[in-house]
Structure 1
Amino acid sequence: MKILKKAAVCASFALLGLGSVNAATMKIGTEGGYPPWSMVDATGTVTGFDADVGAALCAQLGNDCQFVVQAFDSLIPSLNANRFDLIISGMSYTPERAKRVNFSIPYAVEDAIFVLPANSDLIKATDSESIFKGLDGKTIGVQGGTTHGAYLNKVAPNTTVRNYETLDQMQIDLDAGRLDGTFADLTSQSRFLHKMENNEYALTEYVIKGSSDPETLGYGIAVGIHPDNAELKAKVDTALCELINNGTMKTASEKWFDIDIANYDVCKK
C-alpha cells in the first residue's frame, strides 16, 4: 500500500518540472500520445499505464519521478544525450534498439492487431499469411518509430506503410477514409474502436503474437536505460520483479487494459 500511495502521488506530477520534486528525482521520458499507455490530460499531467509503472518504479527505488514528454522516435536519442534517466513508453525491447540503448527485463507482453473495414474478408482470417496477402496494395497506418512498421515492411512488402507521429493522427485518417486499416497494439486498437461513433471498422480475429517474431516485434515491453549505466539497470530489474511479484504490475495493467499483461516468466528463479 505504501508503494501504491507514493506511486499515485508521483503519477500526478505535471510535465517538465511543474510538480514538486527533490534532488532524488528521476526523469522519465515518455510519449504522452499513445492511449492507454501514455496520455497527457487537460491539466498537463501524464496518465496511463506507463505513468503508473513509472511512478511505482520510482517509489520502489526510493525516488520521486518527473515525466518528460516528447515524440516517440526521439526518446532514445534524448536518453543517450542524458536529458532523462529512463524511457517508459510502451517500448518493445528489440535487438535493433538494443544496439543504441540498454533495456531492463521485459516487464510486460503485448500482442498486435489490425483494424480493418468491418466488411473485409480479412476480419475473419485465421492466419497471418492470409491477412498479409490480402493487404497487397493497401495502405496501413502505424505509429512512426514503433516495431509495427518494421514488421509490416518485413512480412507484407507489397503493403504501403504510412507512419504517424501519434495514434490520434493515424486514427483520424482512418476514420476519414485515407487509410485502408491500422496496425498497432491490441490494447490501443481496442480503445480506439470503443470510442468510434460508427461500426464501419473492426478488429481482425487473428492476433499477431508479440513473441511470433522477436527480431522485429521484440521480447516484450521494457524500460530504456543509458547503455553506460549498468548499476541503474540492475536496480531497475530488481524493482520491476518486485512490482510483478507483489501484484502492482497486474493491478496497473488491469486498470488500463482490463487484462493482465505482466510478464511473470521473466522473474522466475
Structure 2
Amino acid sequence: MIFVTPKLLSAGNFGSSVFARLLLIGALLIGLFGLSGCESDGGSSSKSSPATFIGPSPNILRVGVSADMPPFVYKQNGQLTGLEIDLARMMARDMNKEVRFIELDWEDLMPALQNNKIDILMAGMNYTPQRNAIIAMTTPYMNSGQMALVMRKNTQKYGLPGLIGNMKGKVGAEAGTTGEFLVQSSFPNATLITYDSAEEGAQAVADGEIEVLIHDAPTIYWLAGTYQNRGVTPARPVLSVDQMVWGVNRDNPELLQEVNNLVATWASNGELNRVVSRWVGM
C-alpha cells in the first residue's frame, strides 16, 4: 500500500478513477443529506465531557472517539453514531468482546492511546507520516480526499484545485486534521483559521468569517447537506488523496494484526463495503 502525504493535487496528477470515485461519494452524500433540509442548532459544544477511563481487559475493546467528525463519528439525539461507530461494534463482535466508547477531544486521543487508556483510535483519521511516527496505523479501510466548503455564490471562483490553493483569503480547517496540514503546506497565500470542530468551520463559512473550509470529502458533503439552508456547498475539486485508518499503540502488535486481519476479511466477504456504503455511498 502506497500512502500519499497530503498535498494539493493538480488536474494532471490526480487519477481519473480516484476522482470519479470521490465524486460518486459526493453525489450520493448529497442525496443522503442534501434533501433533508436539516440544520444544526449550533448549540452543542465540540469539547467532550471528562472521560471515564477503564483499565485494559481481555473482554473489552476500548475505542477512543471524537464525536465531531461526521459522518465518521458524531452525535445524534445525544447518542454516538456514524460509520466508525458501526465498524467498532462489528469489530468487537468479531473479537468476542464488549465495546466501550471513550469520548475525548481530538487532541487527547493519541496521548490516551500512547498511555494505554484506550485500545484503538477510531475518529475519522487519515494516514500522515507524522501520526505514523508515534502510533501504529492499521490497514486503510477506505479512500478519501480533502475538499473545500464554500458559499454557493462563490463556486465559480473555486472550480480548479489551483484556484483554491492560490487563494489569498481566510481558509478554515479543524485543528489537528489533515485539512490543517494541507492548508499549511499548500496554501501559501492564505490565512489559516482553525476551529475545534468541522461544524464550527461550516458556520464560519456561512457567516462570512472565512471563504472556505477544508476537510475530508465525506465530512464536507455531510456539512453541505446539514447547512444547505445557509447557502454553503462543496467546491467541485478534490484536493488530495487520503487513506482512512485507525490507530493502535505500538506496544500492541497483536491487536494491530487482529484488526488488519478483520479488515481483510470484511473486504473479501463484502461486509466492509456494505457498512461503508451505508454512510458514504461508495
- Tell me the TM-score normalized by structure 2: 0.76
Is the 1:16–1:67 Cα contact (8 Å) retained in structure 2?
A: no
In structure 2, the partner of 1:244 is 267
Q: CA deviation at 1:175?
A: 1.7
Structure with greater proportional strand content: 2
Q: Deviations over 1:154-210 (max 9, x none)?
A: 111221111111112222222222111111111111111112253633221211231
The answer as to 2:154 corresponding to 1:131 is no
Where relative contact order (Cα < 8 A, 6+ residues apart) is larger, the structure is 2
Is the 2:173–2:195 Cα contact (8 Å) retained in structure 1?
A: yes
Aligned-residue Cα RMSD (Å) equals: 2.1
The answer as to 2:120 corresponding to 1:86 is yes
Is the 2:150–2:235 Cα contact (8 Å) retained in structure 1?
A: yes
Instruction: Give the match's secondary structure for 2:124.
Output: coil
Amino acid at match of 1:132: G
Q: CA deviation at 1:120?
A: 2.4
Aligned pairs, number: 230
Specify whether residues 98 and 84 from structure 1 end up closer, same or farther in structure 2 by C-alpha distance, changes over 3 A only. same
Amino acid at match of 1:98: N
- Give the one of 96, 102, 117 matched to 1:68: 102
Is the 1:37–1:49 Cα contact (8 Å) retained in structure 2?
A: yes
Instruction: Give the match's secondary structure for 1:79.
Output: helix
After alignment, is 145-154 or 115-124 more displaced?
115-124
Q: CA deviation at 1:16?
A: 6.2
Inter-partner Cα distance in structure 1 for 2:275 and 2:83: 6
Inter-partner Cα distance in structure 2 for 1:88 and 1:121: 33
Inter-partner Cα distance in structure 2 for 1:101 and 1:250: 26
Inter-partner Cα distance in structure 2 for 1:196 and 1:244: 33
Inter-partner Cα distance in structure 2 for 1:145 and 1:197: 26
Instruction: Give the match's secondary structure for 2:129.
Output: coil
Inter-partner Cα distance in structure 2 for 1:145 and 1:238: 29
Q: Deviations over 1:80-125 (max 9, x none)?
A: 0111100011111211101110111111111221112223265552
Specify whether residues 121 and 41 from structure 1 end up closer, same or farther in structure 2 by C-alpha distance, changes over 3 A only. closer
- Give the one of 69, 72, 83 matched to 1:37: 72
Amino acid at match of 1:254: S
After TM superposition, the structure 1 = structure 2 runs for residues 21-170 of structure 1, keeping only pairs within 5 Å, are 24-43=59-78, 45-120=79-154, 122-123=156-157, 125-126=159-160, 128-133=161-166, 135-136=167-168, 138-170=169-201
Inter-partner Cα distance in structure 1 for 2:127 and 2:228: 35
- Give the one of 248, 254, 258 matched to 1:225: 248
Q: Unpaired segments of 5 or more residues in structure 2? A: 1-49
Inter-partner Cα distance in structure 1 for 2:80 and 2:164: 36
Instruction: Give the match's secondary structure for 1:223.
Output: strand
- Tell me the TM-score normalized by structure 1: 0.79
Is the 1:105–1:222 Cα contact (8 Å) retained in structure 2?
A: yes
Instruction: Give the match's secondary structure for 1:227.
Output: coil
Amino acid at match of 1:90: G
Instruction: Give the match's secondary structure for 2:59.
Output: coil
Q: Deviations over 1:208-247 (max 9, x none)?
A: 2315xxxxxxxx1111000111111111110111122222
